[in-house]
Amino acid sequence: MVVRLDRQGRFRFATAQSPFGETLFRKHGLRTDSYETNLVLIDGVAFTRLDSFVAVMAELGWPWRAMKALLLLPRPLRDWLYDRVAKNRYALFGRKDSCEVPSPELRERFLD
């Protein structure tokens, strides 16, 4: 979704299980034996869980920036909401039978 919405190509990506991704996870105090969240770095600030989604949406501009309203929810509620969506992501968003092969343009946006 981010790739599709990020028309200016601002975001770069790394897989969490790569050596680079594992280093980032460790640096920010996240587990490297179980990847239960994502990590987003914007201007050197680390975001995880629902906060990472909100940070990315805010960077994409309007109307996505309106997602910042989610930050009004108390952190325990945001974490609970993130966990519910994560556990039900296939039912909510569907599941593909195979992984998408990234285009050469998209591959250039991967850091590892």
**pLDDT tens, residue by residue, 21-48:** 999 999 998 888 887 788 999 998 999 9
Question: Dihedral sign, CA of 56, 62, 68, 69?
Answer: negative
How high is the pLDDT of residue 66? 96
Type and span of the H or E element at 48: strand 45-48
Which range, 5-19, 40-54, 92-106, has the best average confidence (pLDDT)?
Answer: 40-54
How high is the pLDDT of residue 93? 75
Nearest alpha carbon to residue 40 among 7, 67, 13: 13
- The residue ranking higher by pLDDT, 109 or 34, is 109
